[in-house]
Amino acid sequence: MNISAIPLSVAEATPADIAKLVHDNAPVIRFDDNEPFLPTAAGYTLYQQDGVSVSSAHKIKLKGAAVAIEYAIWWDWDIQHLYELEHIWVYLSEAGDVLRVEGSAHGCAGELHTWDRKTPLEDGRVTLCSEPGKHAFAASSETLRANFAVTTLCCGKNAGKGTILVPDMFAAELGDLKSYDHHVARKYMESKAFKPAFCFDQAFDLRTVDLMPWDELKASVPARLRSVLAQLRKDAKGVKAVFLDSGDTLIDESSQIFVEGELVLSAVPIPGGDKLVDWLKERGYMVALVADGLVESFENVHKAMDFWHKFDARSVSEAVGVQKPDPRMFLEAVELLGLDPEDHSGCVMVGNNLERDIAGAKRLGMTSVWINWTPRYPKNPANADEVPDYTIGLPHQLLDVLADIDAKA
Same domain for 189 and 85, yes or no, is: yes
E strand or H helix at 317: helix 317-320
Would you say 138 and 113 are in contact if contact means Cβ atoms under 8 Å apart? yes
**pLDDT tens digit sequence for 204-225:** 999 999 999 999 999 999 999 9
Please say which residue of 179, 211, 235 terminates a domain. 235
Arithmetic mean of pLDDT, 7-35: 83
**Is there a domain that residue 3 lies in?**
no
| pLDDT band (50, 70, 90) for residue 266 | very high
Same domain for 284 and 325, yes or no, is: yes
pLDDT for residue 211: 97
**Is there a domain that residue 2 lies in?**
no
Same domain for 261 and 322, yes or no, is: yes
Chain mean position to CA 265: 37
Q: What is the CA radius of gyration of the chain?
A: 27
**Is there a domain that residue 1 lies in?**
no
Q: Of the candidates 381, 353, 384, which has an alpha carbon nearest to the alpha carbon of residue 369? A: 353
Residue 352 clears pLDDT 50, i.e. is over it: yes
Which CATH number does the domain housing residue 263 bear?
3.40.50.1000
Would you say 386 and 363 are in contact if contact means Cβ atoms under 8 Å apart? no
**CA separation for the pair 176, 225 (Å, rounded):** 13
Arithmetic mean of pLDDT, 78-89: 94
Question: 29 vs 116, 121, 202, 212, CA distance in Å?
Answer: 18, 11, 8, 18
Same domain for 181 and 252, yes or no, is: no
Residue 8 clears pLDDT 50, i.e. is over it: no
Q: Of the candidates 6, 14, 27, 12, which has an alpha carbon nearest to the alpha carbon of residue 96? A: 6
Residue 116 clears pLDDT 90, i.e. is over it: no
Question: 352 vs 293, 379, 395, 402, CA distance in Å?
Answer: 15, 9, 11, 17
**Is there a domain that residue 139 lies in?**
yes
The parent domain of residue 58 ranges over: 8-235
Looking at per-residue pLDDT, the higher value among 16 and 7 belongs to 16
Percent of the chain with pLDDT over 90: 84
pLDDT for residue 175: 87
Same domain for 200 and 282, yes or no, is: no
Question: 376 vs 93, 262, 353, 373, 386, CA distance in Å?
Answer: 83, 18, 9, 9, 16
Q: Which residues make beta-bridge pairs with 290? A: 315
Same domain for 198 and 274, yes or no, is: no
Q: Of the candidates 31, 30, 29, 32, which has an alpha carbon nearest to the alpha carbon of residue 195? A: 32
Question: How many structural domains are present in the chain?
Answer: 2
| pLDDT band (50, 70, 90) for residue 4 | very low
**pLDDT tens digit sequence for 37-74:** 999 999 999 999 999 999 998 999 999 999 999 999 99
Same domain for 186 and 334, yes or no, is: no
pLDDT for residue 3: 42
Chain mean position to CA 295: 29
Q: Calculate ∠ Cα 365-339-401, nearest 5°.
A: 55
**CA separation for the pair 149, 140 (Å, rounded):** 18
| pLDDT band (50, 70, 90) for residue 9 | very low
Q: Of the candidates 337, 256, 330, 351, which has an alpha carbon nearest to the alpha carbon of residue 294? A: 256
The set of residues, in sequence order, having a beta carbon less than 8 Å from that of 328 and lying 6+ positions away, is 320, 321, 322
pLDDT for residue 231: 95
Same domain for 301 and 351, yes or no, is: yes
Please say which residue of 202, 218, 235 terminates a domain. 235
Instruction: Flag the least confident range among 99-113, 227-241, 381-395.
Output: 99-113
**pLDDT tens digit sequence for 388-409:** 999 999 999 999 999 999 999 9
| pLDDT band (50, 70, 90) for residue 124 | confident
Helix (H/G/I), strand (E/B), else coil: 364: coil
Phi and psi of 305, rounded to 5°?
A: -100, 5
pLDDT for residue 45: 95
**CA separation for the pair 129, 204 (Å, rounded):** 10
pLDDT for residue 117: 59
**CA separation for the pair 98, 117 (Å, rounded):** 11
**Is there a domain that residue 76 lies in?**
yes
Same domain for 134 and 247, yes or no, is: no
Same domain for 122 and 261, yes or no, is: no
**Is there a domain that residue 171 lies in?**
yes
pTM of the model: 0.86
Residue 286 clears pLDDT 60, i.e. is over it: yes
Residue 230 clears pLDDT 60, i.e. is over it: yes
Same domain for 289 and 382, yes or no, is: yes
Residue 119 clears pLDDT 90, i.e. is over it: no
Q: Of the candidates 11, 105, 99, which has an alpha carbon nearest to the alpha carbon of residue 61? A: 99
pLDDT for residue 129: 95
**CA separation for the pair 329, 322 (Å, rounded):** 7
**CA separation for the pair 302, 259 (Å, rounded):** 16
Please say which residue of 235, 265, 284 terminates a domain. 235
**pLDDT tens digit sequence for 323-350:** 999 999 999 999 999 999 999 999 999 9
Residue 364 clears pLDDT 50, i.e. is over it: yes
Same domain for 228 and 295, yes or no, is: no
